[in-house]
Amino acid sequence: MGSLLPTPTSPLPLNLPHLPHLPHPPHPPHPPHPHREMTYRFKFRPYRRRFVRSLNTNHGEWDIRDGIILRLDDQAGGIGAGEIAPISWFGSETMEQALDFCRQLPTEITEETIFAIPDELPACQFGFESALEKMGSGEWGDAGTRGGGDAVKEFDMSVHPSISVSSFSGLLSAGEVALEQWESLWQQGYRTFKWKIGVYAIAIELKIFELLTHSLPASAKLRLDANGGLSYDEANLWLWTCDNLKANPEISLEIEFIEQPLPVDQLEGMLELSMFYGTAIALDESVATLGQLVNCYEQGWRGIFVIKPGIIGSPSQLRQFWQQHQIDTVFSSVFETAIGREAALKLATELSLHNRAVGFGVNHFFAEEETWLQNLWNNL
Ligand SMILES: [Mg+2]
């Protein structure tokens, strides 16, 4: 495919310094927006993208990514683009609910409209607020943000140039196919890998795991993502195995964490396991939206939080929470376009303490013309 999503085989362009390097110092408190009374012309357009191979999810096969691109124009010629990319089976609103929300809005909206989007529409909260931020910051490039330049220049189609491929985690499929996949990702520059577990029988996966840990280079990092598919006993065995690996002097590969070992309704079990083992646990499905995240924090979770900005909800509320609690975060994609991705990576650079790789290494999931997003935008 083209340059819509990162193409790690080609050198990354270095001419678009929109965002600071990772890691970023803590962001100052969000200043009150100076344009409270400002009205914005609002337009939106739905899109559909087909995955090259359908994705296996806990909720069946996922073939098509539906989303919405939205555009805000202010009276001074400023333009802001945003993306709504729901994943309802992960905890966000449905595409239909997002579309209904956009359809019932007037063509002129205010900031009050945006900050009043209910928590039941987290992907909408993210899309609208990030469009607004874009407009306020003028970070979508100098050409065009003010004074009616070429609107296409508003967004950069490539991966953010200041983030190198080694800052992304490469996704490895479940089962033994991972043994063949990692090498080409390594050659593309990936150093952190995420392998799906909890799909096949644990005895088989543990065998593959042993082969994988012996074949991955010593400087690689490996994350295991169970998508809530393990029993308590299985999670126990995986964590025990990872702790043993850490104690093995022959292996210097780092197991960074096990992601969502147990289902969402078993936080208690994960809290318990997180105290027994040295290997870290990250919550993902349990913290899909900000409300869930706050809830897990309040129930005592101090491990890692996987944040999918596209569906987490309000970026400003997330910032506020992070500034208060400095939680350990990992950022991850919802298979959004360059528009949502840029806003998501901006949050990732602001709200990361431990310089963990971001889970946006998903370019090999779409194959399509690089022009479609530009065309869509031009017709907005
Ligand atoms: Mg996950």
pLDDT at 374 (0 to 100): 82
pLDDT of 15 above 60:
no
- Residue 330 CA, ligand 1 centroid: distance in Å: 10
The dihedral built from the CA positions of residue 332, 334, 338 and 343, taken in this order, carries a sign that is negative
What's the CA gap between 59 and 56, in Å, rounded?
A: 8
pLDDT of 345 above 60:
yes
Residue 367's alpha-carbon distances to 7, 185, 302, 370, 372, in angstroms, are 11, 17, 38, 9, 11
Q: Catalytic amino acids?
A: 196, 308
Which residues contact residue 137 at a Cβ distance below 8 angstroms, ignoring those fewer than 6 apart? none
Which of 64-73, 209-218, 268-277, 355-364 is predicted with the least confidence, judged by mean pLDDT? Answer: 355-364
pLDDT of 18 above 80:
no
- Residue 285 CA, ligand 1 centroid: distance in Å: 7
Highest mean pLDDT among 1-15, 162-176, 300-314: 300-314
- Residue 147 CA, ligand 1 centroid: distance in Å: 42
pLDDT at 363 (0 to 100): 59
Burial class (CB in 10 A: 0-12, 13-18, 19+), 8: buried
- Residue 162 CA, ligand 1 centroid: distance in Å: 25
pLDDT of 143 above 60:
no
- Residue 272 CA, ligand 1 centroid: distance in Å: 20
The candidate with the shortest Cα–Cα distance to 126, out of 286, 305, 285, 316, is 316
pLDDT at 53 (0 to 100): 79
pLDDT of 208 above 60:
yes
Average pLDDT over residues 227-255: 96
Average pLDDT over residues 184-210: 95
Read off the pLDDT band of 2 (50, 70, 90).
very low
pLDDT of 269 above 80:
yes
pLDDT at 278 (0 to 100): 97
Q: What are 196's strand-pairing partners?
A: 225
pLDDT of 144 above 80:
no
Q: pLDDT (tens digit, 9 = 90+) per residue, 311-341?
A: 999 999 999 999 999 999 999 999 999 899 9
Cα torsion for 4, 5, 9, 10, to the nearest 10°? 40
- Residues lining ion ligand 1 (Cβ < 5 A) are 225, 259, 284
pLDDT at 118 (0 to 100): 98
Whether this model's pTM surpasses 0.85: no
- Residue 293 CA, ligand 1 centroid: distance in Å: 14
Q: Which helix (H) or strand (E) holds 74?
A: none
pLDDT at 359 (0 to 100): 85
Q: How far, rounded to the nearest angstrom, does the alpha carbon of residue 248 sit from its chain's CA centroid?
A: 33
Q: Which helix (H) or strand (E) holds 31?
A: none
Give the chain's mean pLDDT. 85
Q: Which residue has the tokens 């350990």?
A: 328
- Residue 364 CA, ligand 1 centroid: distance in Å: 18
Read off the pLDDT band of 69 (50, 70, 90).
very high
- Residue 283 CA, ligand 1 centroid: distance in Å: 8
For residues 101 and 333, the model is more confident at 101
Average pLDDT over residues 117-127: 98
The candidate with the shortest Cα–Cα distance to 157, out of 317, 306, 375, 373, is 373
Ranges of H-type helices in 299-369: 309-312, 315-325, 338-350
What's the CA gap between 105 and 98, in Å, rounded?
A: 11
Tokens coding 169: 């985690």
For 351-372, letters b (16+ CB in 10 Å) and e give bbeeebbbbbbbbbbbeeeeee
Which residues contact residue 268 at a Cβ distance below 8 angstroms, ignoring those fewer than 6 apart? none
pLDDT at 379 (0 to 100): 83
- Residue 284 CA, ligand 1 centroid: distance in Å: 5
CB 340 within 8 A of CB 360: no
Read off the pLDDT band of 362 (50, 70, 90).
low
Read off the pLDDT band of 97 (50, 70, 90).
very high
pLDDT of 21 above 70:
no
- Residue 265 CA, ligand 1 centroid: distance in Å: 16
pLDDT of 12 above 70:
no
What's the CA gap between 34 and 121, in Å, rounded?
A: 25
Q: pLDDT (tens digit, 9 = 90+) per residue, 40-56?
A: 999 999 999 988 878 77
- Residue 33 CA, ligand 1 centroid: distance in Å: 34
Tokens coding 151: 């609107």
pLDDT of 366 above 60:
yes
What's the CA gap between 13 and 162, in Å, rounded?
A: 9
Which of 1-10, 215-224, 226-235, 252-261 is predicted with the least confidence, judged by mean pLDDT? Answer: 1-10
Average pLDDT over residues 124-139: 84
CB 269 within 8 A of CB 262: yes
